[in-house]
Structure 1
Amino acid sequence: MPLKPREHDAKYGELDQVVRAYLGQPADDDPERPSAALTAYLRHTWQARPGAIATAERQLRDLAENPPGRLRTRLGEYYVLPDVGLPDAEIPGWLLVLAEHLKESVEQGRVPAPETPQTHWEWQARFPELGQLLGGWFSQDMPDEFADHGAALADYLGSTAPSVIARLVGEVHELLALGLDDGDYGLALSELGMEVDPPAPYGAGAWLVRLSAHLTGGAGGTGEGPALRKP
């Protein structure tokens, strides 16, 4: 039978975060240089959950040095590594390289400098509630489910706890604080799951500004009003 959630998290939970940071990214780490994916993992995790890095190192090392035996493989009681584009024979060595980079980061204080997210995983990890809003309410199905962007936002606000909405407000402010140009804000919205264009006449950056104003301006959570409408 598959691993139970508690056993999975205890043995592989943080390892899974590391490996998923490689989805869509090359696993091209070498002993002298971590990949862009691992750098993104370190950059975010140092800021959000620094204690998790040592846990990730231990779990990576354990999996590399103690792969599942035939019995656990037959029963399905093992961690299924996502495809990272490497041959099976190279995976243990790659995991150990990652573990060494994490160890050096902790022991030597090698912390990547803060910057704009560089990978899909990092965008999602840094702005989880904004990703939930954009991916859940502004997907390609939005025009079939809601009259317009305001109606979609009203549905989100009406079904989401105030404390979570407050977290969303902080994430929108943090994204705007990056000071990106409109094209880069468009890329950010796409990475966070938005599959429809912002409402005319707004570009991506201007719509985020209007969204921020709506969330903090007391529009009553209806999704109506000037914040998401044309001037």
Structure 2
Amino acid sequence: MPMNPLEHDQRYGELDQVMRAYLGQPADDTEQAPSLALTAYLRHTWNTRPWSLAIAESQVRDYARNPPGRLRLRLGEFYPVPDVGLPEPDIQAWLFLVADHIKRSIEEGAVPPPSQPATRWEWHARFPELAQLLGGWFSQDMPDEFDSHGAAVADYVTGTEAQLVARLTGEIHELLALDLDEADCASALAELGMEVDPPAPYAPSAWLADVAEQLVRAAPEYGPGHTR
């Protein structure tokens, strides 16, 4: 019978995170170096959930040692590894290689240096609330739903918990701190789900800064005499 959510996460939860990091990226790990996808996973996980790396190594290696048969996959009793562009006979060896890289990173303390996100997965993992705003309020349908970009942001603020709005504000400042040029900033917005251009005459970074100011103006005041 299919796995329940608790069983899935206990057996394959972190394996699934590793596999998601490869979506849209080549599984071109070598014995000498991890792939761009795995490097992105390692960098983000070291900086946010370092204890999860040992779980990832164990789950990836266990899966490689005990690959499921077709019947158990069809019954939903095993996690199905997504298509990573490798021939099926090569998957097992590749999983062992991924596990070896994670193990080496843990044992040697080999943390990828800080940088801007390198893959779509890493952009979304690092800026989840900004991805929520851009993908949900700035799709190609945005001009039909809102009179302006500012109206879309105001609608987001109205329907979103204050703590998430505060998190979004921090994510915007973090992205701006990457000091991307305007072309890279526009690419980042697209990776995060934005399907329309910033309003004239704003460049992408200037528009983000303006959104952050709009969020701060909309934030409730706290302090003595203020309650939620």
Which of the five TM-score ranges fits, normalised by the shorter chain? over 0.9
Structure 1 residue 15 displacement after superposition: 0.8
Q: CA RMSD in A?
A: 1.4
Q: Which residue of 2 aligns with 1:97?
A: 97
Distance in 2, matches of 1:117 and 1:170, equals 16
Distance in 2, matches of 1:92 and 1:212, equals 46
Q: Unaligned regions of 5+ residues in structure 2, if any?
A: 221-228
Matched, 1:26 2:21: no
Matched, 1:68 2:68: yes
Structure 1 residue 148 displacement after superposition: 1.4
Distance in 1, matches of 2:105 and 2:127, equals 24
Say if 2:73 and 2:79, in contact at 8 Å, map to a contact too: no
Matches within 5 A, 1:211-230: 211-216=211-216, 218-219=217-218
Q: Which residue of 1 aligns with 2:226?
A: none
Q: Which residue of 1 aligns with 2:77?
A: 77
Relative distance call for 1:153 and 1:61 in structure 2 (3 A) is same
Query: What letter corresponds to residue 95 of structure 1 in structure 2?
Result: L
CA deviations on 1:102-142 (whole Å, 9 max, x unpaired) are 00100110000000111101100000000000001111111
Distance in 1, matches of 2:3 and 2:88, equals 21
Say if 2:73 and 2:80, in contact at 8 Å, map to a contact too: no
Structure 1 residue 30 displacement after superposition: 1.1
Structure 1 residue 183 displacement after superposition: 0.8
Query: What letter corresponds to residue 143 of structure 1 in structure 2?
Result: P
Structure 1 residue 54 displacement after superposition: 0.7
Structure 1 residue 73 displacement after superposition: 3.0
Structure 1 residue 75 displacement after superposition: 1.8
Matched, 1:48 2:22: no
Q: Give the SS at the match of 2:33.
A: coil
Say if 2:153 and 2:211, in contact at 8 Å, map to a contact too: no
TM-score (norm 1): 0.92
Query: What letter corresponds to residue 178 of structure 2 in structure 1?
Result: L
Q: Which runs of 4+ in 1 moved over 4 A?
A: none
CA deviations on 1:59-101 (whole Å, 9 max, x unpaired) are 1001100112455234221111111000111111101000000
Distance in 2, matches of 1:125 and 1:62, equals 25
Q: Give the SS at the match of 2:84.
A: coil
Q: Which residue of 1 aligns with 2:194?
A: 194
Identity over the aligned pairs, expressed in percent?
64
Relative distance call for 1:33 and 1:151 in structure 2 (3 A) is same
Query: What letter corresponds to residue 23 of structure 1 in structure 2?
Result: L
Q: Which residue of 2 aligns with 1:137?
A: 137
Q: Which residue of 1 aligns with 2:116?
A: 116
Relative distance call for 1:193 and 1:74 in structure 2 (3 A) is closer
Q: Which residue of 1 aligns with 2:175?
A: 175
Distance in 2, matches of 1:76 and 1:41, equals 26
Distance in 2, matches of 1:2 and 1:139, equals 35
CA deviations on 1:158-203 (whole Å, 9 max, x unpaired) are 1110111111111001001111111111011001000000011111
